[in-house]
Structure 1
Amino acid sequence: MKATLKASNQKGKNFVLQVGTASKPHYLEEESGDVCVWKKMGEKYMLFVADVLGHGRKAYEVAKVIELYVKNSTEGNIDKIYADLERLVRGTRGCVAFVALVSESMIEYINVGNIKAWIVDAGTVRRTMGVSGVIGRMPISLKIFKEPISLLHSTLVVCTDGIKNQFIPSPDMDWIRTLSPRDVALKIIKEFSIKEDDATVLVARGEMG
């Protein structure tokens, strides 16, 4: 999948965000309680990954409500997106979530709960920041992180906790940088997912087109 954003500082060129996703439900279920959405938001892109607590039909029903909101929302401020999400899931089993706004040279994000995300380049791997908690179930001291990161030179990998803790990206995993984002996501799901849980992976990488 590709989405195109005009770059303001390179005349005649576009910032192209490649996004690949893969997901699978708990092995005894047909439906997943994970949510994975990406879309253009003004001059940025939103990347959204959430995991509703538990699995099965009840988790799936909450996940579909979240997915519908994210797909239809025109809100472009992370703090307001979070406030809407918190209201939406209050009174349900709750969720954890990673929400990012990405431009050519900046990433702004929140990460609440046990979703894991890394920024990978040729020489380093860095785990993103986050806060503990469950959205909709407890008060959370939300923190928005903003970093000057260019996905032209890096790959963002986001995983729900259905991916084994043994999966930790490292610089020698050349395939994270060389395979397409979709193939990276599929490989992680195939080789590192836990069968007794829903699992979702989102991979994003930029290029100039």
Structure 2
Amino acid sequence: MSEPTLRETERHDVQQDGDDILVKQAAESMAAEIGFDESASAEIGIVAVELASNVLKHAEGGELALSQLTDGDRVGIRIESFDVGPGIANVDAAFADGASTAGSLGGGLGAVNRLMHRLTVAAPGEPDFGTKVVADRWIRSDHETTADCPLSFGAASRPAADETVNGDSFVIKRWDDQALVGVIDGLGHGSDAHKAATAATEYVETHYDNSITAIFEGAERACRGTRGVVMALARFDWTADTVTIGAVGNINYKTSEGSEVTFIPRRGVVGGDGPEPKVRESEWHPHDRLVLFSDGIESHWDLSAERGLSRESATVTARRLLDQYSKPHDDATVLVVSNRVEAE
């Protein structure tokens, strides 16, 4: 991933009450000039006031820098905050939902993480060196499809038998000539698992066009303060005939016979200092089929032995596998990707 170019940087001192409002107005103005719509500009203003409020709360003052970003055809905005003083003592806590700074409009660094496409934080490492936060947001280009999607997507999910909420979740997101799918499993089950899975799902669905590594990085922060999740994501590009997959934790997968699709899950928990996923790209062939499933599904079955797959849609296959192989006392999710020509 190339480093974007910064242009037209504005620097604003943050030393006293009221400076955060001035920075908010400046950020909204720059965002509008760059081309963000009214809603996005308002969200960028929230990020600016949140970061400025953090400076006032956790340090003796500091500075915010607003810059226009360019990266090829993409344009966006970068907001950087610099503390002078001890900085944020507990960065992890600042990402938890509800950890809002006094008088701000957001929800702590968690709000910044949700509203921006990429966020990096340098925590205090020496005396009198504060926290540096860098937050980027890009203008999303209009979706442009150049080739019909040849794939069929289907998913089925249910909570454990004794629960009313599901601690599992899934994502199916299509745009341009690509799609992102994923299975997300909150640790345990019940309301706490559901809260973790929801936090991860919301982040993935609003950052779907980031790199898989960047999505895991943001989901790690989005799940702070929850039990955490295990997660597998797969991005399909049908103009390149590829699928790119990354996973952390025990999300299982099966592929059709002869498929070259493979990935290596890494042990860990997203939201619990989980590792960076090993992201692997594979060729996707016309007769390939991929099944992702949570640990609420039995793993001792052979996809190639399942009858009728070539006549079933991905949705029908997902529901059938859930019915046949789910464990009653655990949340269970199955997601299937196949080729439309084969399945329909």
TM-score, shorter chain, exceeding 0.5: yes
User: Relative to 1, partners in 2 of residues 1:119 and 1:26: Cα closer, same or farther, differing over 3 Å?
Assistant: same
1:73-152 alignment runs, 5 A limit: 73-104=207-238, 105-121=241-257, 128-150=263-285, 152=286
User: Relative to 1, partners in 2 of residues 1:97 and 1:74: Cα closer, same or farther, differing over 3 Å?
Assistant: closer
Partner residue, 1:53: 187
Gaps of 5+ in 2: 1-144
User: Relative to 1, partners in 2 of residues 1:187 and 1:194: Cα closer, same or farther, differing over 3 Å?
Assistant: same
C-alpha distance after superposition, 1:94-135 (max 9, x if no partner): 1110111101210001011111112214x5696643221111
Overall identity of the aligned pairs, in %: 29
Distance 1:74 1:124 in 2: 25
C-alpha distance after superposition, 1:177-209 (max 9, x if no partner): 332111111111111100110000000112369
Gaps of 5+ in 1: 8-13
Give 1:147's aligned amino acid: S
Is the CA contact 2:265–2:278 (under 8 Å) kept in the aligned structure 1? yes
User: Relative to 1, partners in 2 of residues 1:188 and 1:93: Cα closer, same or farther, differing over 3 Å?
Assistant: same
Distance 2:305 2:296 in 1: 23
C-alpha distance after superposition, 1:51-110 (max 9, x if no partner): 010101111122222222222335331111111111111232111101111012100010
Coordinate RMSD, CA, aligned:
2.3
Q: Residue 183 of structure 1 is aligned with which of 307, 310, 316? A: 316
Match of 1:146, SS state, is strand
Give 2:167's aligned amino acid: G
Distance 1:61 1:94 in 2: 9
C-alpha distance after superposition, 1:145-175 (max 9, x if no partner): 111123x211111110000132342x23233
Give 2:254's aligned amino acid: W
User: Relative to 1, partners in 2 of residues 1:25 and 1:186: Cα closer, same or farther, differing over 3 Å?
Assistant: same
Distance 2:182 2:195 in 1: 17
Give 1:187's aligned amino acid: R
Is the CA contact 2:295–2:332 (under 8 Å) kept in the aligned structure 1? yes
- 1:26 paired with 2:160, answer yes
Distance 2:237 2:261 in 1: 19
Choose 1 or 2 for highest CA Rg.
Answer: 2
Report how many residues are paired: 197
Structure with a larger share of its residues in strand: 1
Is the CA contact 1:92–1:136 (under 8 Å) kept in the aligned structure 2? yes
TM-score, L = length of structure 1: 0.85
Match of 2:318, SS state, is helix
Structure with a larger share of its residues in helix: 2
TM-score, L = length of structure 2: 0.53
Distance 1:128 1:174 in 2: 25
Match of 1:15, SS state, is coil
Is the CA contact 2:159–2:332 (under 8 Å) kept in the aligned structure 1? yes
